[in-house]
Amino acid sequence: MARVTLQTIADRVGVSRMTVSNAFSRPDQLSSDLRDQILAAAQELGYVGPDPAARALARGTAGAVGVLLTDSLRYAFTDEVATGFLGAIVDELAPSGVALTLLTSDERGEAVPARDVAVDGAVVYSCLPQSNARDWLLRRHLPLVYVDQDPDPEIPSINVDDRGGARLAATHLVELGHRRIGVLTLAVAGTRVSLDDDAESAAVPHPQRERLLGTLEVLRGHGIEPAIEHAERHGDEEAQAAAHLLLAGPERPTGVLCFSDVLALGVIRAAHELGLEVPGDVSVVGFDDSPVAARNEPGITTVRQDVAAKGRLAAVELTAAIERAREADAADASAPPPAEIAHHVLPTELVIRGTTAPPPI
């Protein structure tokens, strides 16, 4: 049995292929009588509807948008901050009927999703600044939205006031009286990078860099030079291992600023292993206010960001960007008013819970 196409139905009913196409895609273009007849014939022949691939080519619309994630796609499903963000995107997108396609920056193998999969636009979310995959998306001239990326004036972006949040956290510890402070952040691609070298600094993902800058600004302002440790990866074990380095040294900090709640949990566990009380012996501050922070007993003092709002906003901005691109395409020659590109910075907020206290005397 050969494939059923518009032509098959057209022949059967005795109309032109175009009319059949209209029956499906533009019902107002033909009498409802004929339309019913065509739909009936389609049903009978087992025709499902216009082929998505063909339609995508002819219309220039894929019906799906992408999200570019790390090379470890798995991570996106393990981390509660990431899942919260993605959940909000899909939720916002659902009513419009566009699907979400997960794009990885993983480049083993021939096929590169960011180059080879049809999408109408994409959210660039959790990937390294120098990601190849992001370059592919850029070169395709796809409508993009940057989330938690170094902003580019041409591209709508959504960021969080990471620096301000970090300042709040650092100030909190300083005001409690802490002077020996540790910082726990994430290694980039398995290696520790500092902000001293510009080239290296550019390789650090935006949020981490901002968080470190905000932290150092406050601490150095008080003459404090923190000990900085890097977790190899964003997992429980890695966090705990790095925390051990921080807490087992000679000059053990009385307070630790962590650049995520998962890291903070690692510090708390490491502290317990070393027989230290939190917050009695060590104060711990997290970041993000992910569910783990509230779940922990005691609740983790942390810097809140509204992950759901970030996701929703990303979806809205992407939809808008796609719309703009369509209009620009149509407008053609006319001087297109260079639509305002939005750059959002969402607020952060310090949430004081039970893991911070004045340092031991």
Partner DNA sequence: CGGGCGTACTGTACCGGTACAGCACATCGA
Partner DNA sequence: TCGATGTGCTGTACCGGTACAGTACGCCCG
Q: Using CB under 8 A as the criterion, which residues of the chain lie in contact with its own copies when the complex forms?
A: 46, 48-49, 51-57, 60, 62-64, 66, 72-74, 76-78, 83-84, 86-88, 90-91, 94-104, 106, 108-113, 115-118, 136, 139-140, 295, 297
Stretch that binds DNA, among 7-15, 119-127, 204-212, 351-359 (CB under 7 A): 7-15
Type of residue at 42: A
Give the nearer residue to DNA in terms of CB position, either 111 or 361. Answer: 111
- Residue 21 contact, options its own copies, DNA, none, Cβ 5-8 Å cut-off depending on partner type: DNA
**Which residue, 101, 28, 25, 26, is CA-closest to 62?**
101
Beta-bridge partners for 67:
102, 123
- Residue 31 contact, options DNA, its own copies, none, Cβ 5-8 Å cut-off depending on partner type: DNA
15 binds DNA (CB under 7 A): yes
147 CB neighbour count, 10 Å cutoff: 27
Stretch that binds DNA, among 2-10, 155-163, 200-208, 246-254 (CB under 7 A): 2-10
Give the nearer residue to its own copies in terms of CB position, either 215 or 296. Answer: 296
For CA atoms 294, 259, 230, 150, the dihedral sign is positive
Task: Note the residue count of the chain.
Answer: 361
Give the nearer residue to its own copies in terms of CB position, either 100 or 257. Answer: 100
Site string for DNA, 19-58 (x = CB under 7 A): x-xx-xxx--xxx-xx------------x--xx-xxx-xx
| C-alpha dist (Å) from residue 2 to 40, 53, 181, 258, 262 | 19, 18, 72, 61, 55
| Beta-carbon contacts of residue 144 (< 8 Å; ≥ 6 apart) | 121, 122, 123, 124, 137, 138, 155, 156, 318, 321
Q: Which residues form the interface with DNA (CB under 7 A)?
A: 3, 5-7, 14-19, 21-22, 24-26, 29-31, 33-34, 47, 50-51, 53-55, 57-60
